[in-house]
Structure 1
Amino acid sequence: MRVAVELVYFTGRKGGTESYARRLFAALGELPEAGVELVGIAGRELRAAPPSWFPGEVVHLPVAGESRPQWAAAVALAVGPRARALRADLLHCPANFGPALRVLPTVVTVHDLLPLRHPEWVPGGRAAAVRRLQRRTLAVADRIIADSAATAADIEAVGGRAGADVDVVPLGAPPVSASVSAGVRGPATAGRPFVLAGGNRMPHKNFARLIEAWALIPAGERPLLVVTGSHGADPLVNEVRRHGLAGDVDLRGWVDAAELADLYATASAYVFPTLFEGFGLPVLEAMAAGCPVLASDLPVLREAGGDAMETFDPASAPGIAAAVRRLVADPARQAELRAAGLQRAAELTWRRTAEQTVASYRRVAAARTP
């Protein structure tokens, strides 16, 4: 089976959705028995920096993935015809959106329905256009992969697709390194304790409330908060200044994989205060790195992390502050969560995600066979 993959979105700076693509297709490359040949359709960025993680030929469109209008137009109108010209049997769009017209059998991975569920959180006046594109994607795709049962339920209830057309395929955790398995922790734990957080700065990530919570922790107990994930000027600077936390919050910006791994390995905890997710991949990434997790008490995060994390009400700054204080002051509980997190991460592998993704491909192929 020859599968074309939409890679225009991926530029090396796209966070969790790009992590999904990197790990999924690398895992697919390790399944020769699946009989899947991959060909990627990318934009300009991957011409300059070819994706070593993609196990197949990559062709390029003259568009920039960093430009949302160019990417949206390419996905809606250009990727399908290019996939057909490449003699693909099937097109997989792994970044929430797919073609506006059915050109060949298509599978779309829908990570979340944020534009339909919470259009008020879509920035830049793009909500209406994004909603139209997402509804069109849901109508045209032959099959939809959802990261979680929560997202699958949204696709049926809000997106209007029958549950029988949706496959729930949980994401995997990164492999646990030998040093993490052996309990080796980095040198930063010998200094001031710090708690790590990360993600884009969209409103549902809830970082303003996290900083508000930090201000409620007594100065003598307050750990350093390191927040990664922004591009360019960080809008959280004003929140930090407003709460007088310049010495207590480190807005680290975008970090590469090596620096992020070091932060996971040396943090007292990873805090994830999100209000809405399609899966919650950072929870598993932190667990696989041996970092105790504090996360919002949301059903979708319970799917990802199980009982291997502490939870809080993400709408309550005092609740977040209390949860952080308890965990940072309790090394024994940190050790328990570290062990439980490693076990949970070992249960969810990218090989399993790849195998279930191939099963989705085969369902589409079988439905198209006369």
Structure 2
Amino acid sequence: MRIGIDVTCWSNNRGFGRYLRELLGALARVPQHDEFILFADQQTAPRVIVPPGWLLRVAGTREAPTRAAAADSRRSLGDMWTLRRLVASEPLDLMFFPAVYSYFPVAGRVPCLVTFHDVIAETLPHLIFKSRRSRWFWNAKCRLALARATRVLTVSEASKRGLMEHFGLAADRIRVMPEAASDAFRPADRDDPAHREALARHGVTIGERFLLYVGGISPHKNIDTLLNGFARIADTAARQDVRLVIVGDYKGDSFRTCHEDLASQAARLGITQRVLFTGFVSDDDLRHLYAACQAFVFPSYLEGFGLPAVEAMACGAAVVASDRGSLPEVLDGAGAMFDPHDADALATALARLLDDPAWRDELRSRSLRRAADFSWDASARRAIEVFHEFDPAARVGVAERRPAHT
């Protein structure tokens, strides 16, 4: 098969950028006989790692589509037309979009597979969009993508159910392919000088007790409830040394941020000196933060998959997570769960993790076992199965197949 892949979201530092980069790397490792053609904008193309034997086609765009699509949905129609013409110039058996964020219309009758990672924008629009205009454009883009998509790919059974509910999609039109932690995320040797140095680069000392959040600094991530929960357990004598470390790019992120509101909230709660906003952290250093924390805390109102939770588990961190969306499915009993609307419930879960070493160690062991259930190579094999449903030479049905992981 000749499979086209949109790689215009390659440079994004959030989950869907990582999804693309990891999936392409795994597809290149897994034995198969397909031909892949990557389509990039000229702003992103220099950063794309093209596997040997794959082709890269570059469109003469004026702005990187990822940023244009994410900030206020102000994508250039000219740029979208340029990408459309570039794809039309290649004979394809399938066009694959790893994220609906960077979708653009595809000409002709080539089948399209579009990835919808979640239904966060549809479920929590008041926490996602800055204006009615941006919400309208987002909804229009999603509807256009669904109208053109032959199949829809998503990353969890929870997201599949959300797509069926919000868009009225039939179950047999959706395929599930889970994510996984990068090989960069693994337990760290705490005696290695590199471990100490990585922590120090981000204001953390070896042996220090801290709780860790990793992800977007956005309203739907529910970090305000995390601050409230932390404040409720932080003032006891036995926990005076504990800090909260919040990792996420709040300066360069093209999505809606609430960093200033969170900083103001921390000041009102009297915990400013105990809350550290690190900004962006590289994977090499992030591994050490995951491995050193007392617990990784993920309070999101909704996740499509929850990749930081799997990264944390792969590094051996105990996980405390919201009981909504995909997180119960992804953790599958490996973490402590709480109602994201209940700061008291979160405080109770955090207090137990901090005060009960045996419970913390048990969750760390569960984390490592659960993380081993996910791999990008397995996800790539699942992707190839889905791709081959479109193989014109196969002459097979397109009945629903079981996902590799649920």
TM-score by length of 2: 0.82
Q: 2:115 aligns with which of 77, 99, 109?
A: 109
1:277/1:148 CA distance change after superposition, 3 Å: same
Taking the aligned partners of 1:308 and 1:184, their CA distance within structure 2 comes to 27
The answer to whether the Cα contact below 8 Å between 2:187 and 2:287 also exists between their aligned partners in 1 is no
Match of 2:68? 67
Taking the aligned partners of 1:73 and 1:111, their CA distance within structure 2 comes to 24
Match of 1:24? 23
SS in 2 for 1:8: coil
Match of 2:248? 229
Taking the aligned partners of 1:145 and 1:152, their CA distance within structure 2 comes to 9
Q: Kindly report which structure 2 residues correspond to 1:116-265, keeping only aligned pairs within 5 A, or say none.
A: 116-125=122-131, 126-175=134-183, 180=188, 186-187=195-196, 190-219=206-235, 220=237, 221-222=239-240, 223-232=242-251, 234-235=259-260, 236-265=262-291
Unaligned segments of structure 2, at least 5 residues: 197-203, 252-256, 397-406
More divergent stretch after superposition (39-48 vs 336-345): 39-48
Unaligned segments of structure 1, at least 5 residues: none
Taking every aligned residue pair, what percent have the same amino acid on both sides?
Answer: 28
More divergent stretch after superposition (169-178 vs 329-338): 169-178
**What one-letter code is carried by the residue in structure 2 that aligns with 1:58?**
L
1:19/1:341 CA distance change after superposition, 3 Å: same
The answer to whether the Cα contact below 8 Å between 2:159 and 2:325 also exists between their aligned partners in 1 is no
User: 1:368 offset after TM fit, Å?
Assistant: 9.5
User: 1:271 offset after TM fit, Å?
Assistant: 0.3
Taking the aligned partners of 1:83 and 1:191, their CA distance within structure 2 comes to 53
SS in 1 for 2:182: coil
Match of 2:4? 4
Taking the aligned partners of 1:83 and 1:326, their CA distance within structure 2 comes to 54
Q: 2:301 aligns with which of 275, 278, 296?
A: 275
Is residue 58 from structure 1 mapped to residue 36 from structure 2 by the alignment?
no
Match of 2:401? none
1:120/1:78 CA distance change after superposition, 3 Å: farther
SS in 2 for 1:161: coil
Spell out, residue by residue over 1:116-175, the C-alpha distance to the aligned partner (whole angstroms, 9 max, x if none): 222222222111210111122122101111111111112222112211111111212333
User: 1:242 offset after TM fit, Å?
Assistant: 2.0
Q: 1:91 aligns with which of 82, 91, 95?
A: 95
User: 1:367 offset after TM fit, Å?
Assistant: 9.7
Taking the aligned partners of 1:260 and 1:72, their CA distance within structure 2 comes to 35
The answer to whether the Cα contact below 8 Å between 1:22 and 1:53 also exists between their aligned partners in 2 is no
* Equivalent pairs, count: 367
Match of 1:314? 340
Match of 1:47? 45
User: 1:252 offset after TM fit, Å?
Assistant: 0.8
The answer to whether the Cα contact below 8 Å between 2:187 and 2:314 also exists between their aligned partners in 1 is no
User: 1:96 offset after TM fit, Å?
Assistant: 2.4
Spell out, residue by residue over 1:217-236, the C-alpha distance to the aligned partner (whole angstroms, 9 max, x if none): 14231521111113318322
Match of 1:293? 319
SS in 2 for 1:35: coil
Q: CA RMSD in A?
A: 2.7
1:102/1:43 CA distance change after superposition, 3 Å: closer
The answer to whether the Cα contact below 8 Å between 1:189 and 1:266 also exists between their aligned partners in 2 is no
Taking the aligned partners of 2:222 and 2:3, their CA distance within structure 1 comes to 37
**What one-letter code is carried by the residue in structure 2 that aligns with 1:230?**
D
TM-score by length of 1: 0.90
